[in-house]
Chains A and B, each alone.
Chain A
Amino acid sequence: MEKSKTLEKIVGKFSEAVIDLHSQLGYDTVIIAKSALLEVARFLKQDPELQYNYLMDLTAVDYWKRTPRFEMVYHFLSLKNKYRVRVKVPVGGAEPEVDSLTSLWPAANWYEREVYDMFGIKFKGHPDLRRILMYPEFEGHPLRKDYPIQKRQPRVGPK
């Protein structure tokens, strides 16, 4: 299968950071190293030809017992070209941390807070990284695969 223009450009510019890439059902996916995330995102957004100016979605997946354990998933849309691209970033370690995209897309702010809340992945450079859905006293990160299903949280009294 021939590579789309987006993938070709990414491979051409960040050849050492690209781990894998594929195109399925008209959806381009590129898996890149964590260290290059901010640069790739900036390139996708600011390249005059590509112009991926819209951050559609930002989430994470917990592949328990795999190394690296987590994978960040970003979906970008180019409103000009009507192209979409999916960028995945494997993140691992006891304290998973990845660069924040809030400097490029302010919309990333709440998405990243949600990922932090549910998966416990920290974002370097995030202006206000705290829980967004659960309350501050909540213990653990509920969408992690090793979160105990029967766990009860401490009761929170009236403030």
Chain B
Amino acid sequence: MEIDTKGNMQTGFFTSRIDKMIGWARKYSIFQYPFVTACCGMEYMATACAHYDIDRFGAGLPRFSPRQADVLFVVGTISQKLAPVLVNVYEQMCAPKWVVAFGVCTCTGGFYDDYATVRGIDHIIPVDIYIPGCPPRPETVLQGLMLLQEKIQNQRQEV
């Protein structure tokens, strides 16, 4: 860290380059954990398969243990009864980790305005990207994925 003539704290050239490089590496090696509970899962599968092919974005290998994953895809309605399980899964993931709310039920609860549904998973875990839609089309999912990559690229990288 240095301080320039105007008194602003600046990160050095080398640190910012390292950050960019790690970000570039991370955004193209997303290991996702799909937490699929409902009909959005079909759209998730459509996105993951060859026609739309999320492998183009380096996210082609879903891990079926949260301990090996970077990105938690929450796909489908989360009920109050399932909420502790989701929190448990999130807490098992190693940092750095990101969360994608896939579909309107995970974003806001959607039309399940009732006693059983969590009204948006951001009530229980932090969320990075919201992909609305009921269910979202694969194009929407891909846009969400690219926004997530942008976020990963530009953030401060914890090592």
A positions within 8 Å CB-CB of B: 134-135, 138, 142, 147, 149-153, 155-159
Contacts and interface: CB of A to CB of B under 8 A. Distances in A.
B84 A142 contact: no
A156 B82 CA distance: 9
Contacts, number: 33
A155 B122 CA distance: 12
A158 B91 contact: yes
A135 B119 CA distance: 17
Given A134-B81, A135-B80, A138-B80, A155 B123 contact: yes
Interface in B113-141: 113-116, 119, 123-124
Interface residues of B, number: 15
Contacts of A159: 84
Contacts of A149: 113-114
Contact of B83 (A142, A147, A151, A156): A156
A155 B78 CA distance: 13
Given A142-B116, A156-B80, 17 more contacts: A134-B80, A142-B114, A147-B115, A149-B113, A150-B113, A151-B115, A152-B119, A153-B80, A155-B83, A156-B81, A156-B83, A157-B84, A157-B87, A158-B85, A158-B87, A158-B88, A159-B84
Nearest to B113: A149
Nearest to B118: A155
Interface string B91-111: 100000000000000000000
Nearest to A151: B115
Contacts of A156: 80-81, 83-84
Contacts of B88: 158
